Amino acid sequence: MSETRPVRIAVDIGGTFTDLQILDARQGQVVAWKTPTTPADPSEGLFRGVQDAAARFGFALADVGLLLHGTTIATNAVLERKLARGVLLTTAGFEDVLEITRHVRRDIYGLAPDPFPCLIERDLRIGVPERIRADGSVEIPLGDLAPVIARLKAAAPEAVAIGLLHAYANPAHERALRDAVAAALPGVPVSLSSEVSPEIREYERLSTTVLNALLMPVVQRYLQRLEARLGEGGFHPRIFLVQSNGGMCSLRRAAEQPARLLLSGPSGGALAAERLSRRLERPNLVAVDMGGTSFDVSVVQDHRIGLVTQGEVDRLPVRLPMVEMRTIGAGGGSIASVDASGRLTAGPRSAGARPGPVCYGRGGEEPTVTDAHAVLGRFDPDFFLGGAMRLDMDAARAAVRARIGDRLGLSVEQAAEGILRVTNAQLAAAVRLSLFEKGLDPRDFALLSFGGAGGLHATDVADELGIAEVVFPREPGTLSAYGILFSDLVQDLARSRLFPADPAHAEEIAASLAALKAEALERLAEDGVPESRRAVELAADLRYRGQAFELLVPWPEAPDLPALLARFHAAHRARFSYAAEGEPVEIVTLRASAIGRFDKPDETPPAPPEAPPAPAPRRVWDGTAEAEWPVWRRETLRAADRVAGPAIIEEAFATHVIGRGWTAALHPDGAIIARRTA
């Protein structure tokens, strides 16, 4: 949307740091800033970061027109169970669906399983006499609510979730219940499954609705604190929050539907990958974000990031659109160990931020992937995190020697190399599987490496995959914030109803679609999006009759049914290697994304320096012997410079290894691009 004030800020609040990226339209430059996160009230660190950045980069708080905010507050509230105490009202006879779950186990050899989490216990799940059928007709009208309301009042909940069978097809009973609850418990937040996730499959819809209800008080409290900081020093931007689908939403929408924030953490990185894919003219990118504890893989194909219709947090399904992501527990903090059978493993156990790797000197005793890099001389102990932390190299060596090398009969360097090789094999396997399950070939992709630890592994992982190009973007440590900076307002709407996708139902489908589209436009108007910036993208979930899962298919030609079917068959063939064009197809869910486009001011890459860089030699361990590798400072690189591997490129919050056989150069956009040359 248009905004006359020149400064736009994207904030991504992580566990340790709050990352900012700032675009000042007057210069067109994007700058980055980092400040420690304040877990007790994250808005405090956010505001401090903005103030510091204003002072550092010379803008006034009153110049800030937009604040785009990524937050893990909802996710953390679930993981730490700091949730409201809630009651679930559901169809009588089905009160246990929330506890029964879908019950497939993941650890097939485990003898002492933990139950799937269930956020509302049985005595707070209240059955309501009523029944709606799959076609939306009423089989049993809503019965006497007096006993239900009496139990509800006795429970004195902080939030109420309402989820009835087939409410996606007919929300009348849920709405009537909401009115009854509002009358009995004024001011208590209520979530309706027909509004939060109006999709078929009762357990997934209930799980999402319950999460939403229990998060409402938590997120509303945070948003109030955030708003309370507005006005200070003329700071009065319009604020939007990042959702799991990679789009922004207004504060009001976030307060009503906090479940949409639940898996927003990785979406900034994916958005950045999508934007970089266009700026660097690389339509196919596989983006890998490696931080302290995890390795996230997302795929950009033909300049578009993939979305899925469901994700999960702590084994709880969240049935809402989100960025497609594969995560494995491998990061700089992953702990290496040797088990009883003499096997060397790395991860998924992590030393986390505390105590962290041994070389951080914060009490960590078990060697980590970061310690392995330290042993091999990949870091300058005096310039880690831009000099913010001194590394204890001796402690790292001692830990790798004692816990890995001695137990396997290897030298400390061999042991460290081993930790990295085992880790790289895992990373490559995760990337291969992410591409593979879509029927894609790694050789058609460039690897986009970011996150604090990504650059140390990128060319090695690319080698394992047969990928010939690696992109190291600018500011790899705050790339998520960069992605957020260029995002749009997006609201996803869905309507589940099983339709045969045939001409006999075309009219019914078109009517449903028109209603959905009208609702989408209405939402955009509510959010104050000017008409010229509104867009609605339509899609449908389809399957062959008899299948139990669906494929999400974009439908730009809506309501042209043959066009949709052609897209479905093509998508099915691409992903599953066959299409059954003669078989009946069903539409399970119709979808609309209401998009309010923000301005996309062009960014000006920073001017490269004039003086030639002066790479300094560093003693490192190179496979079998000590060697000297040149170490380049990223900010000194110029367009004409060529960094031939093996070499190291350092910057404040990241270290990149350019492997043997690779040559890296600066792209005009500011990214470093390494190519396999030998």
Partner 1 sequence: MTAASLGPIEIEVIRNGLTAAAAEMDVTVWRTSRSTIVRELLDYSTAVFDAEGRNLAQSARIPSHLNSMTHALRTLLAEYVPPEAWNEGDVVIFNDPYCGGQHLPDILAFRAVFHEGRRIAFVGTLCHHIDVGGLAAGSYAAKATEIFQEGLRIPPVKLIEAGKRNDAVWAMIRQNIRKPDLLLGDLNSQLASLEVGLAAVLRLARRFGAAAMIEAGERILAMSEAGMRAAIAAMPDGIYEFQDFLDDDGIALGQPIRLHVRLTIAGDEAVVDLSGCSPQAAGPVNATLASSSAAVMFALMCCAEPGLHMSAGCYRPIRVIAPEGLVVNARHPAPVAHRIAVGHRLLNAMMGALHQVVPQKVPAAYYGNSYVTTFQTVAENGAREVLVEIEIGGSGAHPSKDGVNAYASGMHNNSNIPVEMIEAQLPLTVTRYALRDGSGGAGQFRGGLGLVREWRVDSPRCFFTANMDRFDRAPYGLAGGGEAARGALVLRRDGVETPVPPKTDNLPLVKGDVVRLETSGGGGFGPAAQRAPEAAARDRRLGYV
Interface with partner 1, residue 495, by CB under 8 A: no
The nearest distance, CB 331 to partner 1, in angstroms, is 17
The nearest distance, CB 168 to partner 1, in angstroms, is 8
The nearest distance, CB 646 to partner 1, in angstroms, is 19
Determine the interface stretch with partner 1 among 374-382, 453-461, 546-554, 667-675 (rule: CB under 8 A). Answer: 546-554
Interface with partner 1, residue 130, by CB under 8 A: no
Indicate the residue among 547 and 663 with the shorter CB distance to partner 1: 547
Indicate the residue among 51 and 337 with the shorter CB distance to partner 1: 337
Binding-site member from 547, 633, 661, 675 for partner 1 (CB under 8 A): 547
Question: DSSP E strands: which ranges in 155-278?
Answer: 159-163, 190-192, 238-242, 248-250
Backbone angles phi, psi at 536, to 5 degrees: -125, 125
Q: Cβ distance 124 to 86 under 8 Å?
A: yes
Measured at the CA of 575, the angle between CA 569 and CA 580, to 5 degrees, comes to 35
Interface with partner 1, residue 587, by CB under 8 A: no
**Distance from C-alpha of 308 to C-alpha of 23, rounded to nearest angstrom:** 30
Measured at the CA of 516, the angle between CA 504 and CA 583, to 5 degrees, comes to 35
**Distance from C-alpha of 238 to C-alpha of 230, rounded to nearest angstrom:** 10
The nearest distance, CB 383 to partner 1, in angstroms, is 29
Q: Cβ distance 159 to 84 under 8 Å?
A: yes
Indicate the residue among 414 and 512 with the shorter CB distance to partner 1: 414
Site mask for partner 1 (CB under 8 A), range 381-410, x = bound: ---------------------------x-x
**Distance from C-alpha of 210 to C-alpha of 353, rounded to nearest angstrom:** 31
Type of residue numbered 365: E
Indicate the residue among 40 and 112 with the shorter CB distance to partner 1: 112
Type of residue numbered 116: F
Residues in contact with partner 1, counted by CB under 8 A, come to a total of 68
Interface with partner 1, residue 578, by CB under 8 A: yes
Place of tokens 């010379």: 58
Q: Would you mind telling me the total number of residues written for the chain in this entry?
A: 678
Interface with partner 1, residue 563, by CB under 8 A: no
Binding-site member from 4, 40, 80, 115 for partner 1 (CB under 8 A): 115
Interface with partner 1, residue 624, by CB under 8 A: no
Q: Which two tokens stand for residue 251?
A: 């504060």
Q: Which two tokens stand for residue 344?
A: 């060397």
Binding-site member from 4, 40, 80, 111 for partner 1 (CB under 8 A): 111
Interface with partner 1, residue 166, by CB under 8 A: yes
Determine the interface stretch with partner 1 among 228-236, 245-253, 420-428, 655-663 (rule: CB under 8 A). Answer: 420-428
Q: Cβ distance 189 to 198 under 8 Å?
A: no
**Distance from C-alpha of 239 to C-alpha of 265, rounded to nearest angstrom:** 17
**Distance from C-alpha of 416 to C-alpha of 328, rounded to nearest angstrom:** 21
Indicate the residue among 37 and 589 with the shorter CB distance to partner 1: 589
Binding-site member from 38, 41, 62, 134 for partner 1 (CB under 8 A): 134
Strand partners, 36: 17
Interface with partner 1, residue 339, by CB under 8 A: yes
Determine the interface stretch with partner 1 among 263-271, 342-350, 362-370, 635-643 (rule: CB under 8 A). Answer: 342-350
Indicate the residue among 133 and 642 with the shorter CB distance to partner 1: 133
Indicate the residue among 433 and 511 with the shorter CB distance to partner 1: 433
**Distance from C-alpha of 350 to C-alpha of 567, rounded to nearest angstrom:** 43
The nearest distance, CB 93 to partner 1, in angstroms, is 4
Type of residue numbered 414: Q
Indicate the residue among 436 and 556 with the shorter CB distance to partner 1: 436
Q: Among positive and negative, which fits the CA dihedral 266, 272, 275, 277?
A: negative
**Distance from C-alpha of 199 to C-alpha of 541, rounded to nearest angstrom:** 11
Interface with partner 1, residue 201, by CB under 8 A: yes
Indicate the residue among 174 and 475 with the shorter CB distance to partner 1: 174
**Distance from C-alpha of 392 to C-alpha of 375, rounded to nearest angstrom:** 10
Q: Strands 159-163 and 344-350, how do they pair?
A: unpaired
Measured at the CA of 614, the angle between CA 390 and CA 665, to 5 degrees, comes to 95
Q: Cβ distance 514 to 563 under 8 Å?
A: no
Indicate the residue among 81 and 122 with the shorter CB distance to partner 1: 122
The nearest distance, CB 116 to partner 1, in angstroms, is 8
Interface with partner 1, residue 112, by CB under 8 A: yes
Indicate the residue among 326 and 533 with the shorter CB distance to partner 1: 326
Which residues are near partner 1 by CB under 8 A?
93-97, 99-106, 108-115, 121-123, 133-134, 139, 165-166, 168, 200-204, 338-345, 408, 410, 414, 417-418, 421-422, 425-426, 429, 432-433, 436-437, 439, 498, 546-549, 575-578, 580
